[in-house]
Amino acid sequence: MLELRYRGSCPSPGEAVSPPPREGEAAGGDHETESTSDKETDIDDRYGDLDSRTDSDIPEIPASSDRTPEILKKALSGLSSRWKNWWIRGILTLTMISLFFLIIYMGSFMLMLLVLGIQVKCFHEIITIGYRVYHSYDLPWFRTLSWYFLLCVNYFFYGETVADYFATFVQREEQLQFLIRYHRFISFALYLAGFCMFVLSLVKKHYRLQFYMFAWTHVTLLITVTQSHLVIQNLFEGMIWFLVPISSVICNDITAYLFGFFFGRTPLIKLSPKKTWEGFIGGFFSTVVFGFIAAYVLSKYQYFVCPVEYRSDVNSFVTECEPSELFQLQTYSLPPFLKAVLRQERVSLYPFQIHSIALSTFASLIGPFGGFFASGFKRAFKIKDFANTIPGHGGIMDRFDCQYLMATFVHVYITSFIRGPNPSKVLQQLLVLQPEQQLNIYKTLKIHLIEKGILQPALKV
């Protein structure tokens, strides 16, 4: 319904609303006024008032087609739909885990590309939902500007990463020096160009919907790009900070599904009717145990515990270091109730195993709320899955809805409780300074070490 903002008699439901006559004009108006009024009425009839829309008015998105391979369909044709879905999910889960192990073996750079690919696909799935829901409005430049903003935000975040971790490489390339020096200004200029294009695309009587979709794009960028950037930051701290949190979420997803499938009786939350308390509790204990064991195994290898660094001399990423105390076995005294159970007073653990309990607890208790949030989102737009990319699982976003929340927690956890000064990063920053600045820092550091008694003062002849 159109809102009436001027005085006069109320029109009938099918009657067009005409603006009041201007001062000095006849009540009937001239031909130009009538033409303008007719155009505005046509636009109003086409778009209506967005505020009057309710959840039931949202257009339904066509159901995704079944992309299950024909060989699986034939092999599982005799099973009920419940068990057929169980086998499809199980087979494809094992396939994805195997591919994940292969990418881990290929190194940290391939993991970064994997994160980037997942980010782009998740962004595509969310933006596509917005386009399908509101496609009848023919929003100008909506998809073009959405992808343009994705490019701008990725340019900003990945440029920051290059400046932080590839300083020595940048020093050798004059073109890159210019881009890094003015990186933030260039990023801001690119964003401003998109902002101006959005303003120029605004259509009369259509403003509110366009601003809704502008906000849709920016929230999607916040969910996907920002979180994937944090995932890569965690990876640079050491592959173990990437693998344990991600594998804990995967473990919780799998074990909660299995416990719920076989033992689930009590519904957990209305947003996800298939989620049960039995699955939630079983997933929690399984994830904590898994995280503790995975932390013990991975802490033994430099490949997983050393920070990922770029070595300009070999032109590749390396993971070689002297493991910190966090990844060295320590002896701990057990509390009295555990002494009685384990029948020993002391135990040797990696300190990271203690941190893994916090990570696993978050993955199993708070992480699922990312999935509940996604369930509410899908219910709001009457869809079952974000896409049909993975048979039995839905879209990529359906598999990674909990991972994004986990990435933020891990980054906050590292910066709050773990991270100290990074000598490699400090050295990278020193190498890009002017020679006079480097010499001043050298003299200051030398005086400081002499005062501490670490260096002997030079003897005057």
- pLDDT number for residue 363: 96
Structure tokens at 373: 């949030």
Residue 419 DSSP label? -
Residue 335 domain-assigned (yes or no): yes
Residues 354, 429, single domain; the answer is no
Beta bridge partners of 346: 333
Taking only the tens of pLDDT, the chain with its 461 residues reads 334 333 334 444 444 444 444 444 444 444 444 444 454 444 444 444 444 454 455 555 555 556 666 676 677 777 777 787 788 888 888 888 899 999 999 988 899 999 999 999 999 999 988 887 776 567 778 888 999 999 999 999 998 888 777 766 776 777 777 888 899 999 999 999 999 999 999 988 788 888 988 999 999 999 999 999 999 999 988 999 999 999 999 999 999 989 998 998 999 988 888 889 999 999 999 999 999 999 999 999 999 999 887 776 676 777 888 888 999 999 998 888 888 888 888 899 999 999 999 999 999 999 999 989 998 888 888 888 888 888 777 888 988 888 888 999 999 999 999 876 667 667 767 877 888 998 999 999 989 988 888 888 876 54
Instruction: Specify the pairing of strand 316-318 against strand 330-333.
Output: unpaired
Residues 368, 306, single domain; the answer is yes
How far from 302 is each of 12, 105, 318, CA to CA, in Å? 77, 14, 10
User: Angle 239-263/396-413 helices, nearest 10 degrees?
Assistant: 130
Residues 134, 270, single domain; the answer is yes
Residues 102, 114, single domain; the answer is no
Q: Which domain holds residue 119?
A: 108-139+203-420
Residues 358, 347, single domain; the answer is yes
Residues 113, 207, single domain; the answer is yes
Residues 395, 318, single domain; the answer is yes
Q: Which of 208, 53, 223, 210 is nearest to 126 (CA)?
A: 223
DSSP codes of every residue in 92-118: HHHHHHHHHHHHHHH-HHHHHHHHHHH
Residue 243 domain-assigned (yes or no): yes
Q: Which of 163, 183, 160 is nearest to 229 (CA)?
A: 160
DSSP codes of every residue in 16-37: PP-PPPPTTS-TT--HHHHHHH
Residues 354, 373, single domain; the answer is yes
CA within 13 Å, CB half, 2 = 23
Q: For the chain, how many structural domains are there in total?
A: 3
Residue 167 domain-assigned (yes or no): no
- pLDDT number for residue 433: 81
Residues 368, 331, single domain; the answer is yes
pTM of the model: 0.77
Residues 370, 393, single domain; the answer is yes
Q: Is 270 helix (H, G, I), strand (E, B) or coil?
A: coil
Residue 116 domain-assigned (yes or no): yes
Q: Which residues contact 385 (CB under 8 A, 6 or more apart)?
A: 64, 378, 393, 394, 395, 398
d(Cα 24, Cα 27) in Å, to the nearest integer?
A: 9
- pLDDT number for residue 307: 86
Residue 187 domain-assigned (yes or no): no
Residues 207, 281, single domain; the answer is yes
Burial class (CB in 10 A: 0-12, 13-18, 19+), 112: buried
